[in-house]
Structure 1
Amino acid sequence: MLRKSDDYVSPGKDYFALNLKFLFLVGLWPNDRWSKTQATAYSIYQKTLHVLPIIYLIITIIGTYQHAGVLEKFLENLDKNVVALNFTIKYMLFTIKHKEISMLITEIMHSGDKISKQCNRLMSVHVVAITGLTFLVVGAFSGAALLNREMVVEAWLPFDPTKNMKNLLLFAQIAAITFTPCTIRGNAMQGFVCSLIMYLCEQLIELQHRLRALTYLPGNDDELKYQFKEIIKKHVRIMRYSKSMKSIFKEYLFVQNFAITVELCLNAVMITVIRFEDKKLLVGFFAFLCMALLNAYIYCYLGNELMSQSEGIALAAYDASWTSWPIGLQKDLLTVIRTAQKPLSLSAGGIANLSMHTFGQALYNAYSIFAVLNDVVD
Structure 2
Amino acid sequence: MAFLSISGHFFNTNLFIFNIKYLTMVGLWPNDDWGCNKMYIYKAYEIILHILSVIFIIVTGIGTYNHKHNITILMTNLDKSLAAYNFVLKIFFFVLKRKQLKNLINEIRNSGDEVRPKRRYLMVIHVIMITLVSTIIVATFSMLSQLKGEMTLEAWMPFDPLKSRFSLLLAGQIIVVYFLVPCLYRAYAIQGIVCSIVMYLCDQLVELQQRLKSLSYSEEREGIVRDEFNEIIKKHVRIMRYSKIFTNIFKEFFLIQNLAVTIELCLNALMVTIIRFEEKTLLATFLGYLGLALINAYIFCYLGDELIIQSTGIAQAAYESGWTSWPVDMQKDLLIVMRAAQKPLTLSAGGITIMCIQTYSQALYNAYSIFAVLNDVVD
The verdict on a shared fold, with TM-score over 0.5 as the criterion, is yes
Counterpart in the other structure of 2:108: 108
Q: Is the 8 A contact 1:11 1:108 kept in 2?
A: no
Paired amino acid for 1:62? I
Give ranges in structure 2 of 5+ residues lacking alignment.
1-7
Counterpart in the other structure of 1:344: 345
Q: TM-score, normalised by structure 2?
A: 0.96
Q: TM-score, normalised by structure 1?
A: 0.96
Deviations 1:200-252 (A, max 9, x none): 00000000000000001122211111000000000000000000011100011
Paired amino acid for 1:124? V
Question: 1 CA distance for matches of 2:231 and 2:294?
Answer: 40
Question: 2 CA distance for matches of 1:146 and 1:18?
Answer: 35
Counterpart in the other structure of 1:240: 241
Residues 1-378 of structure 1 correspond to what in structure 2 (within 5 A)? 13-181=13-181, 182-378=183-379
1:171 shift after superposition: 0.3
Secondary structure, counterpart of 1:115 in structure 2: coil
The farther-off stretch of 336-345 and 142-151 is 142-151
Question: 2 CA distance for matches of 1:10 and 1:351?
Answer: 40
1:13 shift after superposition: 3.0
Paired amino acid for 1:39? M
1:61 shift after superposition: 0.8
1:173 shift after superposition: 1.2
Counterpart in the other structure of 1:3: none
Question: 1 CA distance for matches of 2:26 and 2:158?
Answer: 29
Q: Is the 8 A contact 1:12 1:109 kept in 2?
A: no
Deviations 1:173-223 (A, max 9, x none): 110100112000111011110000000000000000000000011222111
Paired amino acid for 1:204? L
Question: 2 CA distance for matches of 1:265 and 1:277?
Answer: 20
Paired amino acid for 1:149? G
Secondary structure, counterpart of 1:90 in structure 2: helix
Q: Is the 8 A contact 1:11 1:115 kept in 2?
A: no
Distance change (3 Å), C-alpha of 1:9 and 1:223: farther
Q: Is the 8 A contact 2:55 2:178 kept in 1?
A: yes
Paired amino acid for 2:67? H
Paired amino acid for 1:47? I
Q: Is the 8 A contact 1:79 1:266 kept in 2?
A: yes
Secondary structure, counterpart of 1:263 in structure 2: helix
Paired amino acid for 1:368? S
Secondary structure, counterpart of 2:13 in structure 1: helix
1:36 shift after superposition: 1.0
Secondary structure, counterpart of 1:97 in structure 2: helix
Give ranges in structure 1 of 5+ residues lacking alignment.
1-7
1:149 shift after superposition: 1.6
Paired amino acid for 1:281? L
1:158 shift after superposition: 1.7
Q: Is the 8 A contact 1:304 1:355 kept in 2?
A: yes
Question: 1 CA distance for matches of 2:324 and 2:365?
Answer: 46
Question: 2 CA distance for matches of 1:136 and 1:245?
Answer: 31
Runs of 4+ aligned structure 1 residues displaced above 4 Å come to 8-12
1:9 shift after superposition: 8.5
Paired amino acid for 2:84? A
1:80 shift after superposition: 1.1
Deviations 1:259-298 (A, max 9, x none): 0000000001001111221111110000000000000000
Distance change (3 Å), C-alpha of 1:246 and 1:224: same
Q: Is the 8 A contact 2:265 2:367 kept in 1?
A: yes
Question: 2 CA distance for matches of 1:257 and 1:358?
Answer: 9
Question: 2 CA distance for matches of 1:343 and 1:10?
Answer: 34
Provide the identity percentage.
Answer: 52
1:112 shift after superposition: 0.2
Question: 1 CA distance for matches of 2:344 and 2:10?
Answer: 26
Q: Is the 8 A contact 2:11 2:18 kept in 1?
A: no
Q: Is the 8 A contact 1:208 1:312 kept in 2?
A: yes
